[in-house]
Chain A
């Protein structure tokens, strides 16, 4: 006579179940390398920087834990670096979104030349900011093709100053940041069932109603993701602020302020504090975007069962 399985005590798992549980643990092994990388390359440096930032060095050593932060916010020139960065990151993010959105929407389905155009739009990603900046100095410089064309067309008498100022950094970020925004949006846009717009159309919706009631709400999560990515990338701008900007003046961005603290004044503690401020601002922006996104619809973009 064998005991009924139901007579077993509930907390003693049968061998088969225990084996499955063991296998579940083994199944988690593949994420271990990624976990170690996140711990070693992100969590640890971040924690280290945070601790460093609340242990001021040099003149501020006795001024309390928050002395570095007080010094940063107390100095108008340092404080200005936040504004200098925001006034690049916010418009660049918005303009890239505005350009990428209609393009991504048009290119969401295979159309003739779609691969080519998509490829072309993604090229800046492979160049990197330094290469873009160097190209810009040539192209947009006083003797570059752009100014030569303007002068030849009698649109201007003197070369227009387009590099080594705010405009230079602005253009370079616009170019460098576009591919990521575009790719994220294309991903979301191509996931939207084309029948939804057709259904809306047959039900009497004109183009604006289809856009505002169907397409944009369904794209909202993608817009949020692209905005967050773009803002974080542009807010940490560094090379182009130096190469095509005016690093001592209007493009003295927050990353530059941190760099100067670390490598001109050798105050790692102060530099860490600035980096933490930078991270905090990025976090606030991402949180803001995520809150807005959670208010928009989050779910499948295909009606019914495809």
Chain B
């Protein structure tokens, strides 16, 4: 397993907004800087497969050099959107404009995009070098130039020396690197990636995630990345577009969508694992007093258009559910009982019952034995109340 553990070269700084802008392409043997695009504008894209709408009213702007993720559950249309951008699918409606040029009549082979497929789609009958060279051969690049650029691309993904192997002789991670090199070597105007890490095991997935981030920082390639993994999207992206049922629900930086979800769908997808159906009783000063199952009253932050008496969804992250021993709670909080505790390594995760029909997941520092009584505290600025969807 050649390149295992190479991830250490990549940035390991925490993911923060200010640092996410791609660095200009560094010419440290990484090949010439990519042909930059100004902006890709996707307007009102729609695609149906028979009766089912895979994509509807899909709008997205991608700026040059940006890394943008389409995040959503399987079947939400993110791969359809990617294939429309690649030209592999013809949208039924809408337009895709690259620097104000409509791509509708441009077949995929003339768009000059790079694409990494979920199963890598390496040509099994060609060696690593021939796989990577394929796009350059199609462009009619001179033979010596091809050899030079293939060598550079393979060095970039730490696969130098593997030129003569066949894809079947490589590990999953190495195949992934070949797929990346093959897409990068043509210096694509836009790099499209379709769940590129989903076929890797957990350890390799982390390693390749860092690798993709390193390549993006080094080359500054405009990238459209499809994933169903929130962690992947949060760690890689400049911006995230959350998709549901063929349309975008929210677009924003990782911090924005993580901290300020605009709907219970987005909240649920980004770690608000506790969703409680509630009825709004009172709205005041941006706060909502709601009734949860079992008549339990909760106070949360109002989001979106709520009205008193209407149905709503209350959402809170497990890490924001505070669990206290009854004697230390000084009477504040909801009386509850721990049903189950699971050890996750750094924390424990407990399922806590606060009343009939009100079951919450809580993260705790110490183990709570099953069956013990506890007090729950849900801070009103961490508990978000969304209109019912």
Chain A residues engaging chain B, CB cutoff 8 angstroms: 193, 195-196, 198-206, 209, 213-214, 217-218, 297, 299-306
Contacts and interface: CB of A to CB of B under 8 A. Distances in A.
Contact of B125 (A209, A297, A304, A306): A297
> Which of A214, A303, A305 counts the most chain B CB atoms within 10 A?
A303
Contacts of A297: 124-125
Nearest to B116: A199
A300 B124 contact: yes
Contacts of A201: 88, 107-109
Contact of A206 (B109, B111, B135, B166): B109
A201 B112 CA distance: 10
20 contacts: A193-B121, A198-B108, A198-B117, A198-B121, A199-B182, A202-B88, A202-B114, A203-B138, A203-B182, A204-B112, A205-B134, A205-B138, A206-B109, A217-B125, A299-B166, A303-B124, A304-B120, A304-B121, A304-B167, A305-B172
A202 B110 CA distance: 8
Contacts of B110: 204
Contacts of A193: 119, 121
Interface string B93-110: 000000000000001111
Nearest to B117: A195
A196 B115 contact: no
Q: Which 3 A-B pairs have the closest CB atoms?
A: A304-B120, A297-B125, A204-B138
B175 interface: yes
Contacts of A299: 124-125, 166, 168
Contact of A303 (B107, B123, B138, B192): B123
B172 to A, nearest CB: 5
B121 A303 contact: yes
B86 interface: yes
B117 to A, nearest CB: 5
B199 interface: yes
A183 to B, nearest CB: 23
B166 A304 contact: no
A299 B123 CA distance: 11
Contacts of A305: 119-120, 172, 175, 199
Interface string B168-180: 1000100110010
Contacts of A304: 117, 119-122, 167, 172, 175-176, 179, 199
Nearest to A302: B124
Given A205-B109, A205-B138, A300-B168, A200 B123 contact: yes
A301 B124 CA distance: 6
A296 B109 CA distance: 26
B138 A199 contact: no
A201 B117 CA distance: 13
Interface band, chain B: 35 or more
Given A203-B138, A204-B135, A217-B125, A303 B119 contact: yes
B139 interface: yes
B307 to A, nearest CB: 49
B125 A218 contact: yes
A206 B108 CA distance: 9
A218 B109 contact: no
Nearest to B182: A203
A69 B168 CA distance: 49
A195 B119 contact: yes
Given A297-B124, A300-B124, 8 more contacts: A201-B108, A201-B109, A204-B186, A299-B125, A301-B124, A303-B120, A303-B123, A306-B119
B115 A199 contact: yes
Contacts of B167: 303-304
A293 to B, nearest CB: 13
Contacts of B134: 200, 203, 205, 213
B123 A202 contact: no
Nearest to A210: B109
B359 to A, nearest CB: 39
B113 interface: yes
Nearest to A303: B122
B237 to A, nearest CB: 22
Nearest to B120: A304
A205 B112 CA distance: 11
Contacts of A204: 109-110, 112, 135, 138-139, 186
A205 B88 CA distance: 13
Contacts of B122: 199, 303-304
Most chain B CB within a 10 A radius of its CB, from A203, A204, A206, A214: A203
B196 to A, nearest CB: 10
Contacts of B108: 198, 201-202
A200 B166 CA distance: 17
Contacts of B175: 303-305
B197 to A, nearest CB: 13
> Which one of A300, A301, A304 has the highest number of Cβ atoms from chain B below 10 Å of its Cβ?
A304
Contacts of A301: 124
A201 B106 CA distance: 12
A199 B114 CA distance: 9
B217 to A, nearest CB: 24
B179 A209 contact: no
Nearest to A217: B125
Nearest to A220: B125
B109 A202 contact: yes
Nearest to B176: A304
A199 B168 contact: no
Contact of A202 (B113, B120, B168, B172): B113
Given A203-B138, A304-B175, A305-B199, A195 B125 contact: no
Contacts of A202: 86-88, 108-109, 111, 113-115, 192
A305 B200 CA distance: 9
Contacts of B112: 204
Contacts of A303: 119-124, 167, 175
Contacts of A218: 124-125
A22 to B, nearest CB: 35
A203 B135 contact: yes
A195 B182 CA distance: 14
Interface in B278-322: none
Contacts of A209: 138
